C-alpha cells in the first residue's frame, strides 16, 4: 500500500469513527433534552377568591378544595385572595394568605410549568379584571410554559342557565310556592353588573317568586321589596348569592340592624327566613367552577 493510500485510509477511518461516536453522543444529548421536554409537566391550580375573614365562611372554601382535588388529583392546588383587607385581617390572626401575584411567583420559583388560575368570583367584574392583568403579566414574562385563566361563575349564556338550575335546586324544601326566595348578590358599578339583571330575568321566567337583588348595584333591595309587595308576598327565604356566607350575609342580609334586608322586609310585613349558606357550599355551583377549570386545563 502506498503512503498516500494509507493516509487516505486513516483519514476515512477517523471520519467514520467520529461519525459513529459523535452522532450517538449527540443522540444521547438530544434524547436527554427531549426527555426534559416530554417528561410529565408540573401542573398547578391556583384558586383565587375575594376571600373572607369569617371563620364560618371557610366551609365554602373547604368544599371547593375537596371537589377540585378530587377532580384533578395530579395537580397541586393552591389558594390566593384578591382582597388586601381580608389578607391583612387574617395575617393579624397568624394566617397567611398570598395575593395572586405572590402565589404565582411561588409557583414559578417551585418549578411549576403549567398553571390554571381559576377565578372563584361570581362575575367578570373589577376583581376579575385585576386578576386577568396579573395572569397576562406572568404570561408576557414567559414565567410558565402555559398559564390559563379560568372563567368566573357566570360568563356565557350556558353559565347563566347552569346557575339558574343550581339555584332552583337549592331552594329549601319547606318553601311553599307562594313564598318568595330572595337572593342577595354583592353588586358592583362595573358593567359586568348586567349579569345580575340577566340572571334575575331568567329566574323570574323559571319561578315568578324568585327575586335577586344586590348590595351595591342593580337590582337593589328596594326594587325587590316593591316586587314582593306587588305580588302580596307574606314570607321570604333570604339566601346569599355569594360564594361564602360572610359579612354581607350576616349583617346586610340577616342582621338585626334596622337597615338589614331582614329588618326592612319584616317592617314591610314580610316574614323572613335567612338561609346562611354561600353558593360554594353547594356542589351544583362548585361544579360550574370545576367545569371552567376543566376547560382551562385543555388550554395547557
Cell numbers given for 206: 323559571
Least Cα distance to 244 among 76, 116, 126, 86 occurs for 86
> 223-258 burial string, b = 16+ CB within 10 Å, else e?
ebbebbeeeebeebbbbbbbbbbbbbbbebbbbeee
CB contact set of 7 (below 8 Å; sequence gap of 6+) = none
Q: How far is CA 235 from CA 169, 215, 274, in A?
A: 19, 21, 11
Name the catalytic one among 121, 186, 248, 292.
Answer: 186
Distance from first CA to last CA of the chain, Å, rounded? 64
CB atoms within 10 A of CB 262: 21
Long-range interactions of 137-146: CB distance < 8 A, separation 24+: 138/104, 138/108, 143/104, 143/108, 144/107, 144/108, 144/112, 144/113, 144/114, 144/115, 145/41, 145/113, 145/114, 145/300, 146/113, 146/114, 146/115, 146/299, 146/300
68 close to 116: Cβ distance less than 8 angstroms: no
What whole-number distance in Å separates Cα of residue 29 and Cα of residue 23?
Answer: 10
Does the active-site annotation cover 186?
Answer: yes
Before 133, cis peptide (omega within 30)? Answer: no
Catalytic residue numbers read 186
Amino acid at each position: 500500500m502506498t503512503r498516500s493510500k494509507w493516509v487516505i485510509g486513516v483519514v476515512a477511518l477517523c471520519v467514520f469513527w467520529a461519525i459513529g461516536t459523535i452522532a450517538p453522543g449527540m443522540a444521547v444529548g438530544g434524547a436527554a433534552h427531549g426527555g426534559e421536554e416530554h417528561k410529565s409537566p408540573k401542573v398547578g391550580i391556583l384558586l383565587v377568591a375575594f376571600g373572607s375573614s369569617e371563620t364560618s365562611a371557610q366551609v365554602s372554601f373547604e368544599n371547593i378544595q375537596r371537589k377540585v382535588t378530587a377532580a384533578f388529583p395530579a395537580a397541586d392546588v393552591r389558594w390566593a385572595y384578591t382582597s388586601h383587607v381580608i389578607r391583612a385581617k387574617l395575617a393579624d390572626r397568624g394566617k397567611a394568605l398570598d395575593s395572586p401575584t405572590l402565589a404565582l411567583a411561588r409557583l414559578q420559583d417551585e418549578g411549576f410549568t403549567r398553571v390554571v388560575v381559576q377565578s372563584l368570583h361570581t362575575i367578570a367584574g373589577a376583581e376579575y379584571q385585576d386578576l386577568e392583568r396579573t395572569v397576562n403579566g406572568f404570561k408576557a414574562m414567559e414565567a410558565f410554559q402555559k398559564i390559563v385563566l379560568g372563567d368566573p361563575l357566570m360568563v356565557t349564556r350556558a353559565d347563566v342557565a347552569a346557575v339558574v338550575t343550581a339555584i332552583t335546586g337549592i331552594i329549601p324544601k319547606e318553601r311553599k310556592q307562594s313564598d318568595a326566595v330572595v337572593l342577595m348578590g354583592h353588586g358592583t358599578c362595573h358593567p359586568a353588573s348586567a349579569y345580575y339583571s340577566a340572571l334575575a330575568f331568567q329566574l323570574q321566567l323559571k319561578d315568578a317568586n324568585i327575586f335577586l337583588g344586590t348590595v351595591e348595584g342593580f337590582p337593589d333591595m328596594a326594587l325587590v321589596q316593591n316586587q314582593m309587595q306587588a305580588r302580596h308576598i307574606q314570607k321570604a327565604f333570604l339566601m346569599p348569592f355569594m360564594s361564602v356566607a360572610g359579612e354581607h350575609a350576616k349583617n346586610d342580609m340577616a342582621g338585626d340592624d334596622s337597615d338589614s334586608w331582614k329588618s326592612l322586609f319584616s317592617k314591610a310585613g314580610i316574614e323572613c327566613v335567612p338561609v346562611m349558606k354561600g353558593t360554594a357550599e353547594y356542589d351544583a355551583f362548585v361544579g360550574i367552577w370545576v367545569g371552567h377549570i376543566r376547560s382551562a386545563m385543555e388550554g395547557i
